[in-house]
Structure 1
Amino acid sequence: MNNIELDVWRGEWGLASIDLECLKVLTYMKFIGVPVRVREVTNPFFTPKGKLPVMRDGRNVLTSFEEVVDYLKSLHYSTDVHLNVKQAAEASAFTQYLRDKLYPAYQFAWWVDEKNYNEVTRPTYAKALQIPFNFYYPSKYQNIAKEMIDALYGEHTDLKEVEKTIYSEAEKCLKTLSDRLGESEYFFANRPSSFDAIVFAYLVPLVKAPFPNTTLANHVKGIANLSRFVARINQKNFRHVTDEYNRQNAKKQSTGTQSDRERANFPNQTRNKILAAVFAVIAMTGYAVANGMFQDFKSFEHSQDFDNMFENEEDDN
């Protein structure tokens, strides 16, 4: 095995990453203890599929959670070896259930709810990106989420009715998860599985992100055993990230720095839309020559090592 590198979206609010898919991979790698160099990337334009995460091990390049799990299993790194056939089937069924019922609500909360998007999601992703990409990607991801919601519920359906339905389905899904977890530490036996990584990645951003519309977050926080599940995994595996965030936050408060100053300095929405449209045209026409004249854009990538993140951390007793 070569030195594994993992490119992810940056973290915020004490999260290892602001992105659901990146959190899945980060959490799974923490579970199995695989040596990895984690880098925050501010330009996903040159990734193989234009998105994150991306895991590299020599010539092997993987771009999805499922690919990463299968590849690491081939290297004898796996958290699922303790699952029997029935448990593996149940984990697979639950994973699809989350995709069908919780993922649409997650996307709605992050990208479709206009207040959440304008006050939290867009500024957060813009902060994670370099110019000019910060004008393009948030709008792109919002459009993808809206297209998914339209496909599920109809393009001209009243958005308030969609919100009510989608959060109701998510609440039922969370209740089912809660019933399955019970008083156990993990969903299957006394060891974490890939399914635990998936559930954690869904829930922890909803707990941490400071959305003005807290409907979905309140559903999570209102279920005691799921809240404890999130807190345990976060404390055991990402305590370094949380502690660093708390230190930085305390430092900002002591110097009178307010987080909304960054949002106040963010360009107005009209200019954002114009620049996003211009950049979209440039991106589409320039992609064909990206491997040539755009190579210098790679200097936009800001990478940061997180060796401490992947040191084993003990629970505080």
Structure 2
Amino acid sequence: MPSVRLEDSLVSGIGDEEPWQDDINLYEPYEVEQVLSTDYANCLAVQAYLKMCKLNFNVEMRSNAEFMSPSGQVPFIRCGSFVISELDPIVAFFTHKNVSLSESLSEKEKADMRAYMSLVNTVLTNAEQYVLWNVPEVLNSVTKPRYGSVYPWPLNTFMCWRKRCQCLSRLKVYGWASKTLAEVYEEVQKCCYNLASRLGQGPYFFGGKPTELDALVFGHVFTLMSTPLPDNRLASIVRNFPELRKLSNHIEGEYFANTLSNTSSSPEDTNQD
């Protein structure tokens, strides 16, 4: 049977007819030598979400995961005949299958959750991409070697150039390409302040149980704190918010049993309280 995109299934009703199959494969780039921080954050967010939903899944690492994905973004899952990429469509798919972390929230709380998720996706994702692809020191010492590591020369040079053009075009659409690095850091500071204020001292953003927002924030916060760069200002900003560090440490211990293998991390970065 050919693979079915989520968007098509929801329109045509195929998703209702398809039986539930607990055979989820999660596809990601290679963590050790290839994945960049933006993609690693998204991969961690999806892993956390699946674990919070108590869904069994296998992680499959592929050098060409980006090009296997139906949207060109990682991670993506294959579940039965469905192939779905990125956190929001994956959440929609499982919600359609009556698996949800936020079903107990009120409509206002759901609206708030979506607003904060949009904030994270806009600010933290854009900041990560800006630093990776628009800061020369990071671009040359981290981004190009990692992204091009799976391609032979001169293809690695071409693929890095192609990816950089795509990312800079995306930043331009969001109005981030013309920002200074100081302005980017200021945006991250404000984003973290808003997230920390909403989280407060609670274990999660909406009471005692995690939601999709917790999974998303964890992916970015853990990645920012555990990925050393020539300029580690992003990590320093996040560490200044103990509420976010506490959330990251709690989710790591609760759902990953402290087994995350980001080889670029160090104990002092990931275990601060």
When the two structures are superposed, what TM-score results if normalisation uses the length of structure 2? 0.78
How big is the shift at 1:178? 0.8
Q: Percent identity?
A: 24
State whether structure 2 residue 128 is matched by structure 1 residue 106: yes
8 A Cα contact 2:32 2:262, kept in partner: no
Unaligned runs of at least 5 residues, structure 2: 1-19, 267-273
Give the alignment partner of residue 112 of structure 2, picking from 82, 86, 90. Answer: 90
Is 1:238 matched with 2:256?
Answer: yes
**Aligned: 1:31 with 2:52:** yes
The separation in 2 between residues aligned to 1:211 and 1:168, in whole angstroms, is 18
1:169 paired residue among 164, 187, 200 = 187
Q: Say which structure is richer in helix.
A: 1
Give 1:197 deviation, angstroms.
0.8
Give the Cα–Cα distance (whole angstroms) in 2 for the partners of residues 30 and 42 of structure 1.
Answer: 24
| 1:176 Cα deviation after fit | 0.8
Q: Deviations over 1:85-134 (max 9, x none)?
A: 2211110111122233333212112222121222222323334x354764
Given candidates 140, 144, 156, the residue that maps to 1:122 is 144
Render the CA deviation track for 1:268-306: whole Å, top value 9, x for unaligned.
Answer: xxxxxxxxxxxxxxxxxxxxxxxxxxxxxxxxxxxxxxx
Of residues 202, 210, 223 in structure 2, which corresponds to 1:192? 210
Deviation at 1:213, TM superposition (A): 0.8
The secondary structure found in structure 2 opposite 1:26 is helix
Instruction: Confirm or deny: 8 A CA contact 1:112 1:145 kept in the other structure.
Output: no
User: Is 2:26 aligned against 1:6?
Assistant: yes
Task: Tell me: CA distance 1:198–1:46, structure 2 relative to 1, closer, same or farther (3 Å).
Answer: closer
Paired amino acid for 1:210 = P
Letter in 1 for 2:63: T
Over 3 Å counting, the alpha-carbon distance change for 1:241 and 1:72 in structure 2 is: same
2:214 maps to a residue whose letter is D
Structure 1 residue aligned with 2:219: 201
Check if 1:145 corresponds to 2:145.
Answer: no
- Equivalent residue for 1:68? 90
Report the CA distance shift for 1:51/1:99 in structure 2 as closer, same or farther (over 3 A): closer
Asked whether the 8 Å contact 1:5–1:39 carries over to 2, the reply is yes
Q: Do the aligned residues in 2 keep the contact of 1:6 with 1:55 (CA within 8 Å)? A: yes
Q: How does 1:264-275 map to 2 (within 5 A)?
A: none
How many angstroms apart in 2 are the aligned matches of 1:55 and 1:243? 20
User: Which of 1 and 2 has greater Rg?
Assistant: 1
Question: What is the deviation of 1:55?
Answer: 0.9
**DSSP-derived class of the 2:236 partner:** helix
Q: How does 1:210-289 map to 2 (within 5 A)?
A: 210-239=228-257, 241-242=259-260
**Inter-partner Cα distance in structure 1 for 2:51 and 2:158:** 32
Shift of 1:210: 1.1
Letter in 1 for 2:122: D
Cα shift at 1:181: 0.7
Contact 1:95 1:195 in 2 (8 A): yes
Q: Tell me, what secondary structure is at the counterpart of 2:58?
A: strand
How well do the aligned residues superpose, as a CA RMSD in angstroms?
Answer: 2.8
Q: Which residue of 2 aligns with 1:270?
A: none
The verdict on how the C-alpha distance between 1:145 and 1:57 changes in structure 2, with shifts beyond 3 A counting, is same
- CA separation in 1, counterparts of 2:210 and 2:127? 25
CA contact (8 A) 1:34 1:77 kept: no
The alpha-carbon deviation at position 57 of structure 1 amounts to 1.4
Give a deviation string over 1:140-194, Cα, whole Å, max 9, x none. 3322222233344486x5xxx6211121122111111111111111111111100
Higher RCO (Cα < 8 Å, 6 or more apart) = 1
Look up the SS of the partner of 2:160 in the other structure. helix
Q: 1: CA distance between counterparts of 2:245 and 2:85? A: 29
What SS does the aligned partner of 2:43 have?
helix
Report the TM-score, using the length of structure 1 for normalisation: 0.68
Residue pair 1:42, 1:130 contacting (<8 A) in 2 also = no
